[in-house]
A and B are shown apart, each in its own frame.
Chain A
Amino acid sequence: MRKKILEVKNLEISFQTYAGEVHAVRGVNFDLYEGETLAIVGESGSGKSVSTQAVMGLLGKKNTHIKGGEILYQGQDLLKLNEDDMQKVRGKEIATIFQDPMTSLNPTMTVGRQIAESIIQHQVVSWGEALEQAEEMLGMVGVKNTKSRMNHYPHQFSGGMRQRVMIAIALACKPKILIADEPTTALDVTIQAQILELMNELKTKINTSIIFITHDLGVVANMADRVAVMYAGKLVEWGTVDELFYNPQHPYTWGLLASMPTLENLEHGLYTIPGSPPNLLHPPVGDAFAPRNAYALEIDFKKEPEVFPVSKTHFAATWLLHAEAPKVTPPAEIQRRREMFDKKLMRREQV
């Protein structure tokens, strides 16, 4: 069994707004193992970014309230660290890449300095050595002519190249965890593939674990070892990529997968999940997904579902898994996926 490097337990975060308290994250639990890539998927506003920004301690102090829970990094609760100690974690132990490479770099500082800055912050090196390491990093992320590129400003780089620079900054101190918050959303598809490939390559080279936040399930399949699905501030289902993609249990995961374009579902058009996510100013009782769920049971509107284990690695929070729940037939797309999953299992047993 691999070592757990990060454990998030019962994390609850809310924002104070003029309208009232928004319960953005409502009790999130997940673990991250050494060297793995965990994808967190979910639609906008489901709390994926907020949860991970809490891990980095990047949430603003004024109107954010971390109401409860623990974020254990190598056994140490990051929520209990003071600002000085947290600065030593940020960038060194846990680093992050953001969504928008066009605005995430300082426009008036050379790229080389922006990378070297994080090295000199966390390591006992001279400025010259830091610049040397920075140049090496720049080469590692696939930037050519590093010598002259070091002295260039961000506006002289294309979007994809800037995201490479962001990766160089994030990995400059060889962090144990890299949080990638939709790192390819702002890039076009070919560049996206290059960046993902680069991340996979560096992950093994530097031996870092990745938390990959995305709403692109296609990306998840290529990147992740495990997937967690988030909805309305909670994880509704998590498991290995195979389990999630081929044996999903939560109707929300069904919806997500059914609305993913595949070669098979091209003919009858894409599925969409009806309705819109709940307003987290007033979180619903019961299962937050129930009003949009064609398979909702009566109990879904009254009581929040427990987390049921499907396998040792696969869990889902839906009453459908309760022993007394009626058997439902999932959408055709999901049945097709399950058949493939069963075949895979059988093949594995034969081997």
Chain B
Amino acid sequence: MKKYLVKRFLVGMIVLLLITFLSFLIINFSPGDPATLYVSSDATEAQLEQTRENLGLNKPLLIRYGHWLKNFIQGDLGISFATRQPVSNMLLERVGPTFLLMGTSLIVAYLIAIPLGVYSAVKQKSWVDYLITGTSFLGVSIPNFFLGLIFIYVFAVQLEWFPTGGMHDLGSEGGFLERVHHLILPVLVIATTISANMIRYVRSSMIEIFGENYLRTAKAKGLKPQNIIFRHGVRNALIPIITIVGTDIPKLIGGAIVTEQIFQWPGLGALTISSIQARDYNVLMAITLLSAIAVLFANMLTDVFYAAADPRIRLNEN
């Protein structure tokens, strides 16, 4: 297992390097000249050239990439064009809220999806099952941003149960309860989309397990139905689900960008949008890098969980 993980880690490094190069190309080839954003509109060509030099944009692309890579390896992510602050400081400020939002959403999503999926499978073809699968179909169909707007309109504007956005009340440092209060709506939006999908996977995986011979064995032992379902059913049904959790992480990152924007959540998603608008190359590079690391890490974690859950695929045993 250790050997396998080291290998995965090394491969991950190479993938990461390729990702930085490709994103560097894409970001720099995208239309718009950052220099024009930082001088007055009547600036002369000489002033523009001076700005480009200040921003380090006047050198050839490959040399700039090499420069960026060298700094990155030394732990320096550069300076933001827009704020003139070190990029790493900006990221650190934003990572916390995003992790809070994503982590809570994931946990809430699975807490909703697994019991409902299992219940739906147990009560297959009953009205409860139809209700659950129907609702989940609806959840899959509604885009994140639209659901977010509906939630804001209904729960924040009309019912005034929750704030429309932000992480804490204006002018307040925010206590724990206040944080939770602000968290509920965005978490619900993200969790709805993820769990809607997950419910269907859990349900079908569970139904497949019901046909397995070892469930008949469990019944023949005289076990109680709940023991059959949980001890023998759920554990085996969740193994294929682990793969899906791995693919949820990238989806979550994408979804968070939109949801954070709608709820003015001061996380990485909001930073992404603003740095795209500002052509803030260094910040964009850092965010891309961070997402790539998150995805690679999630994949690796998936493998570890997989091995933990299924004894048949534990590698290098004994």
Using CB atoms and an 8 Å cutoff, list the residues of chain A in contact with chain B: 56, 58, 87-92, 95-96, 98, 100, 103-109, 117-118, 121-122, 153, 155, 166, 169-170
Residues of A within 8 A of B312 (CB): 107, 153, 155
B219 is an interface residue with CB less than 8 A from chain A: yes
Chain B: interface size category: 20 to 34
Residues of B within 8 A of A100 (CB): 213
1/0 per position for B207-224, CB-CB distance to A under 8 A? 000001110111111111
Using CB atoms and an 8 Å cutoff, list the residues of chain B in contact with chain A: 212-214, 216-224, 227, 231-232, 235-236, 239, 309-312
Question: A106–B214 contact, CB under 8 A?
Answer: yes
24 contacts between A and B (CB under 8 A): A58-B216, A58-B219, A89-B222, A90-B219, A90-B222, A91-B221, A92-B222, A95-B220, A98-B217, A103-B212, A104-B213, A104-B217, A106-B214, A106-B218, A107-B310, A108-B236, A108-B239, A109-B235, A117-B221, A121-B222, A153-B312, A155-B312, A166-B217, A170-B220
| C-alpha gap A96/B224 in the complex (Å) | 17
Residues of A within 8 A of B309 (CB): 108
Question: B220–A96 contact, CB under 8 A?
Answer: yes
- Beyond A56-B220, A106-B236, 15 additional pairs, beta carbon < 8 A: A58-B216, A91-B220, A95-B221, A96-B220, A100-B213, A105-B214, A109-B231, A109-B232, A117-B223, A118-B221, A118-B223, A121-B224, A121-B227, A153-B312, A170-B220
Top 7 closest A-B pairs, CB basis?
A91-B222, A90-B222, A118-B221, A91-B221, A153-B311, A103-B213, A106-B214
Min CB distance A178 to B, Å, is: 11
Residues of A within 8 A of B219 (CB): 58, 90
Residue of B nearest to A86 (CB): B222
Residue of A nearest to B235 (CB): A108
Question: A108–B311 contact, CB under 8 A?
Answer: yes
Residues of A within 8 A of B232 (CB): 106, 109
Question: A107–B216 contact, CB under 8 A?
Answer: no
Residues of A within 8 A of B311 (CB): 107-108, 153, 155
Q: With A155-B312, A166-B217 known to touch, is A107 a contact of B223 (CB < 8 Å)?
A: no
| C-alpha gap A87/B227 in the complex (Å) | 12
Query: Which of A106, A121, A153: most chain B Cβ within 10 A?
Result: A106
Residues of A within 8 A of B212 (CB): 103
| C-alpha gap A96/B221 in the complex (Å) | 8
Residues of B within 8 A of A153 (CB): 311-312
| C-alpha gap A90/B224 in the complex (Å) | 11
Question: A121–B217 contact, CB under 8 A?
Answer: no
Min CB distance B78 to A, Å, is: 48
Min CB distance B314 to A, Å, is: 9
| C-alpha gap A98/B218 in the complex (Å) | 12
Residues of B within 8 A of A122 (CB): 222
Min CB distance B224 to A, Å, is: 6
